[in-house]
Chains A and B, each alone.
Chain A
Amino acid sequence: MSDNTPEEAKVRPPERQYPDPKVKLKQEPPTTGHSWDGIEEYDNPMPRWWLWTFYATIIWAVVYWVLYPAWPMVRGATPGLLGYSSRGEVVEEIAEFEQRNLAFFERLNDTELEVISDDPELQSFAVNAGSSVFAAQCSQCHGAGGAGVQAAGYPNLLNDEWLWGGTMEDIHQTIRYGIRNEDYADARWSQMPAFGQDGLLDEEEIDQVVHYVLQMSGQEYDAELAEAGFEVYDWNCASCHGDDGGGDYFQGAPALNTAIWLYGGDYDTLWESVYYSRFGVMPGFAERLRDAEIRAVAAYVHQLGGGQ
């Protein structure tokens, strides 16, 4: 590519610029006739394959109309020969996953509750399945993260305290039959008396016992009132809540000597609890969920952080 331009080329004067925009080529296509600031537009014909592609899309559309739901009619769209519907597709997919989960569900049903966690594969399945059941059935009260709602008395499932026990068996039983639920004979049941409302204790005694509970749970209290409250507690409360206030899983009696409160541990809330009594209810899921789903959600709740 070095200098090999012949001599005569050098002496010949340039006939035209290269490339010269003003010189029209032989095959110069016609223009549309419009001119924008001197810029014109070629009026080239479309390539024919493009036309074919266009026809192909028309044929595609006609075939689609015939095979798939297409034209809106008075009562829904034309169904199409394939009978396809997006809803039907979802149903099929659900059925397919049901089928795939079947083996796991059977294993879950056949495994003792307490030993599910020994099988990592089964535990992983149970926790995953349980978390979706929890989100759909339990999170309304217990919260998406399982933290409960204190103001409404929905228990926190993450801590290390349980009303009715935190073993797999206990949790399973609670979910299956619910709490204070008349639909199931096996539902857990207990009822705290409304000591004030029903006249079992007078207001002075309630004041005393509340101070005793404040002392028991390590909060600020009036020593004189608390001392008097001990006797009130011993006579009226200890049978369920325990001599030391440790609570009783069998009666769903919460511990009173810890930092965890279902409704609140301040004086006013405690006074209200004693005067009017409190007890929450929970629906049973024995008929709403399949056995395996109940076992799965029990496994999920058990591993949230407080399982025993």
Chain B
Amino acid sequence: MSSPDTPPKLYAAREPIFPRRVEGSYRTMKWWLLGMMLAIYYITPWIRWDRGPEMPDQAVLLDLANRRFFFFMIEIWPHEFYFVAGLLIMAGIGLFLFTSALGRVWCGYACPQTVWTDLFILVERWIEGDRNARLRLHRKKWDAEKVRKYGLKWLVWALIGLATGGAWVFYFTDAPTLARDLVTLQAHPIAWITIAILTATTFFFGGFFREQICIYACPWPRIQAAMMDEDTLTISYRDWRGEPRGKLRKGQTAPEGTQGDCIDCMACVNVCPMGIDIRDGQQMECITCGLCIDACNDVMDRIGKPRDLIGYLALSDETRERAGEPQLPAWKHVFRPRTVLYTVIWGGIGIALIAALFLRSDIDMSVSPIRNPTHVVLSDGSVRNAYDVSIRNMHGSPREFRIELSDGAPFELELQGIAGQTLTLPADTQHSQRVYLTAPAGSEEAQVQSTPARLWVVETAGNERIHTDTVFNGRAQ
């Protein structure tokens, strides 16, 4: 870049990248994936799911204000955050699994940065033309055409960004209501701010920042690089087959043994959205999007050479192929102790979470004994303890609950402000009830330091009952 005599530049401008259009099986698959993932993103908040008249009817809803998360038939309360923790652990192990088996498959196919950049490049190509036309336009002085095309491109990008940020907010509140509020300009400022920020970041990251996000901002490439091994399937250039590379005129064949299959046509470089040369070997910038495979296969077909000069292969395949053996089949690379172990752990956690989800009770309680003071002596000499019993009604309908003691418990139970032992909780709510237990004067429980006590919460109509153990404090402290 610079000779030892001149000091190197401290700051370098980004080298603009103009990926060429490419066709092939990977490109086709990526279009399908792109369509599918965008469809999931945009349609999901509009799916309705009936949970009863008092509950939100949105299938997927992150209700931050009320601290509830709805996912179809599943409702997660904040105290059940371990489900989210479990999902995060699964995501982590899933990352190990996919990276050890298929390298940076997430980066290349599913990462929003890749998907949206793909979409933005598509828009760019529609408006400005393919690689060469875009290059020409880029180098051109500003004139009417450049202003028109760039302006139109930026406008479409901004609209995509707006649609992206606009869809995001629907996950956090009732989508039809919010849509109406947005159209009538009555939405909450938070919604507008979120949309504005996400529109700006989408526009900027997809339009201008692109590969720099992956190279400079994202930690995953670095983490994933440490998780690959010699059996990981990743995109590589078979340099033992391609080298020495050399140009080839049409209809010409190189003398036997002097030239490899690579004709140095730069197709793989020109289509690369990361602006790298895959022939330099595996490198941090490569997101394994597969477009160079399509580009090279196209060229190989045309010059009548076998496909897959660039293809999915593992590091261990190199020695095999150099020795004249065929590449191992993909499944043999994928199924090995490491990936099987990851799958078992991943699946085990998944099964445990599902089991926990279906075994959990629709009611929940916790008891916090009042410890200031530990007990109160009443005028007749009896001793009273107070407890805050918190009851959660996780049903989609109001329920009546009765607070009880175990049979034969030597205490008298009273609810503060309520005659009797029953109370009704509205659907999907938590309620804290002060409960008094009193031990009669002179009884053992009133005298000794502490006695175990068990409080029950019972659904009056229904068969669910849960209990929590606590203690009763007597006078001897």
**Residues of A participating in the B interface, judged by any CB pair closer than 8 Å:** 1-6, 8-12, 14-16, 18-19, 25, 27, 29-30, 43-51, 117, 123, 143-145, 147, 156, 158-161, 218, 255, 258-260, 303, 305
Contact = CB atoms under 8 A, between A and B. Distances in A.
B416 interface: yes
A5 B380 contact: no
Contacts of B324: 5, 10
Contact of B441 (A4, A161, A259): A259
B261 A6 contact: yes
Contacts of A303: 416-417
B133 interface: no
Contact of B12 (A15, A19, A45): A45
Contacts of B318: 18
A30 B1 contact: yes
A305 B436 contact: yes
A43 B4 CA distance: 12
Contacts of A123: 417
Nearest first, the 8 closest Cβ-Cβ pairs linking A and B are: A3-B326, A145-B372, A19-B281, A258-B379, A259-B381, A147-B373, A45-B12, A9-B241
Nearest to B241: A9
B140 interface: no
Main secondary structure of the interface of B (DSSP, over half): loop
Interface of B: 1-2, 4, 8-14, 209, 212, 216, 238-241, 243-244, 256-257, 260-261, 280-282, 305-308, 311-313, 318, 321-322, 324-327, 329-330, 370, 372-373, 376-381, 384, 386, 416-417, 436, 441
Nearest to A3: B326
B66 to A, nearest CB: 18
Contacts of B261: 6, 9
A216 to B, nearest CB: 13
A15 B245 CA distance: 12
B370 A145 contact: yes
5 contacts: A1-B311, A5-B241, A18-B318, A30-B4, A49-B212
Given A47-B216, A48-B13, 7 more contacts: A1-B330, A47-B11, A50-B11, A158-B373, A159-B376, A161-B379, A258-B379
Contact of B313 (A1, A12, A49, A258): A1
Nearest to A157: B376
Contacts of A30: 1-2, 4, 8
A48 B14 contact: yes
A15 B243 contact: yes
Given A5-B306, A45-B9, A18 B240 contact: yes
A144 B372 contact: yes
Of B10, B12, B376, chain A has the most CB atoms within 10 Å of the CB of B376
Contacts of A25: 280
Contacts of A8: 256-257
B2 A6 contact: no
B307 to A, nearest CB: 7
A124 to B, nearest CB: 10
Contacts of B2: 30
